Amino acid sequence: MDILLALVPMFAWGSIGLVSGRIGGDANQQTLGMTIGAGVLSVIIFILMRPVIMLPVIVVGLLSGLLWSVGQNQQFHAMKFLGVSVGLPISTGLQLIVNTIAGAVFFREWKTNKDFVLGLTALGMLISGAYLTVRRDQSDDRPVTDGLPAFGKGLRAVVISTAGYCAYTIMINAAGLDPLAIIFPQSIGMLAGAGFFAFKKTKVDSFVWKNTVSGLLWGLGNICMLLTMQQIGLAVSFSLSQMGIIISTIGGIFILKEAKTKKEIRFVIYGCLLIIAGGVLLGYMKA
């Protein structure tokens, strides 16, 4: 049952890039709209569940929400520079690598030699998959220099995004607090962070309100991941939550019509399959 619940974020988060890509708006508008949607869901959960909120919950919730806003804002920037079909696989691969290592090293989720062998094999798959998703078709006629400025900015955004996202998940896992209690103060931290990025830069218009839909999707995935993190561990719960990469990547190519050669499409598909295989292997370790 825990594994099935851990798969919910795969579908919810895997759809976010496609939904926000179709809706449009700049990265700050997307972050603000997404945060408002997630905040609405957190208020509903708080009213229905009435969790006990103490000072540690408030502190961890606010800080994790601020870190998340950094991660999400920069991921939207990365998708603008690199496209959904490239930005998300790189982001997902890096997050999987960092969180898997954190789960193994800091939280002692790998205990036997078999765990380390399988875990390192899974990491190899994740790294190889992330590389394939951005591999360029060398026979393509497009000048290599055309995409370098955007790629550099996109890669920078991905690194900052990974730092924010991973700090947010590691902090929550280390705190070991009630997930349902954290969600409400976390949404306040998220809104504060999104407001900082949007302040005097973003017009609150229809793009912001439409992007609340992606916030509802994110909130659903976040609740399920937090609930399962304490049961099956950070390495496995987060890895399974990121398997929605196949939805966002393939959707970016075929739904958002992002330009790819046939060879690059094959690279992306192979890369996604490797990342998924690495995540499944991590899930098998826990099972």
Query: Do 136 and 276 form a contact (C-beta atoms < 8 A)?
Result: no
Q: What is the mean pLDDT of residues 128-146?
A: 68
**Angle made by CA atoms 224, 253, 19, in degrees to the nearest 5:** 40
Note whether 151 and 145 are within 8 A (CB): no
| Residues contacting 76, CB < 8 A, separation 6+ | 20, 27, 30, 31
Reported as a pLDDT band with limits 50, 70 and 90, residue 216 is: very high
- Residue 15, both tokens: 């759809």
Rg (CA), the chain: 18
Q: Higher-confidence residue: 93 or 38?
A: 38
In this predicted model, which residue has the larger pLDDT, 189 or 79?
189
Q: For the chain, what are the domain ranges?
A: 2-286
In this prediction, residue 252 carries a pLDDT of: 79
The answer to whether 166 touches 102, Cβ cutoff 8 Å, is yes
**Mean pLDDT in the chain?**
83
- How are the residues of the chain apportioned to helix, strand and coil, as percentages rounded to the nearest 5? 85, 0, 15
What's 243's DSSP letter? G
pLDDT-derived band of residue 146, with 50, 70 and 90 as boundaries?
very low
pLDDT at 141: 58
Q: Select from 204, 210, 217, 279 the least CA-distant residue to 72.
A: 217
Q: Is 176 left (phi over 0), alpha (psi -120 to 50) or beta?
A: left
Residue type, 154: G
Q: CB-based contacts of 127: which residues, under 8 Å, 6+ apart?
A: 93, 97
For 31-78, write each residue's pLDDT tens digit. 889 999 999 999 998 999 899 899 999 999 999 999 999 998 998 888
Report which of 15, 14, 21, 36 is spatially closest to residue 198, judged by C-alpha positions. Answer: 36
Q: What is the pLDDT of residue 179?
A: 82
Q: Are 270 and 118 in contact (CB under 8 A)?
A: no
Q: Give 2's pLDDT tier (boundaries 50, 70, 90).
A: low
Which position has the token pair 């601020």? 66
Contact call for residues 129 and 274 (beta carbons, < 8 A): yes
- Name 56's Cβ contacts closer than 8 Å, sequence gap at least 6: 175, 177
Q: How far apart are CA 256 and CA 156, in angstroms?
A: 23
Residue 68 has, within 13 A of its CA and on its CB side, a CA count of: 29
Distances from the Cα of 20 to the Cαs of 25, 71, 142, in angstroms? 8, 16, 28
Strands (E), 60-159: none
Average pLDDT, integer, range 164-171: 91
Contact between 233 and 172 under an 8 Å Cβ cutoff? The reply is no
